[in-house]
Structure 1
């Protein structure tokens, strides 16, 4: 990780397992919640309606169950847009 900018190694849509009581900035729980397409355009362009939502005003995050107490899967809503393979 880059010491001056921890988001430099984070891709939008990346999923990580956290043991923190509070989440770092730029991350949301992967709990199936609906998000606004207008507020999360980059993430929507990657996920689309794969996990739900109408695709016009909202879309859903994946719902991932915790593997153990005190742990939670989270998805990056900020960071670098990944370069995708053709």
Structure 2
């Protein structure tokens, strides 16, 4: 497994370059922070966007209309502000997993 390291302003960030899916097997709805200006495959930025319930039924069952949406056809993702700006125009982005392991309630 390759490890990629980024250094900026005396801060080093290392990420695994193993798979296209961040975290290997994330939980559905898991929120993670990435050192890019984009979210990995099957992840979405926490920007409050509306998603169709019929395409993301399992995620809707976890989030409901807590963050918005009409609850009939759409629901919204949480809204998060940027964590830290590493260099001009680039920073850390928070993303939510759109697919993954459905969390157990027991």
Q: 5 Å matches for 1:7-86?
A: 9-69=25-85, 70-85=91-106
CA distance in 2: counterparts of 1:42 and 1:53, whole angstroms: 16
Give CA-to-partner distance per residue, 1:34-76, whole Å, 9 cap, x none.
0000010010000000000000000000001111121111000
TM-score (norm 2): 0.71
Tell me which protein shows more strand as a share of its residues.
2
Tell me which protein shows more helix as a share of its residues.
1
SS in 2 for 1:74: strand
Moved over 6 A (4+): none
Deviation for aligned residue 1:22: 3.2
Contiguous gaps of at least 5 residues in structure 2: 1-17, 86-90
Q: CA RMSD in A?
A: 1.9
SS in 2 for 1:9: coil
Which has the greater radius of gyration?
2
Greater RCO (Cα-Cα under 8 Å, separation 6 or more): 1
TM-score (norm 1): 0.86
CA distance in 2: counterparts of 1:59 and 1:21, whole angstroms: 24
Contiguous gaps of at least 5 residues in structure 1: none
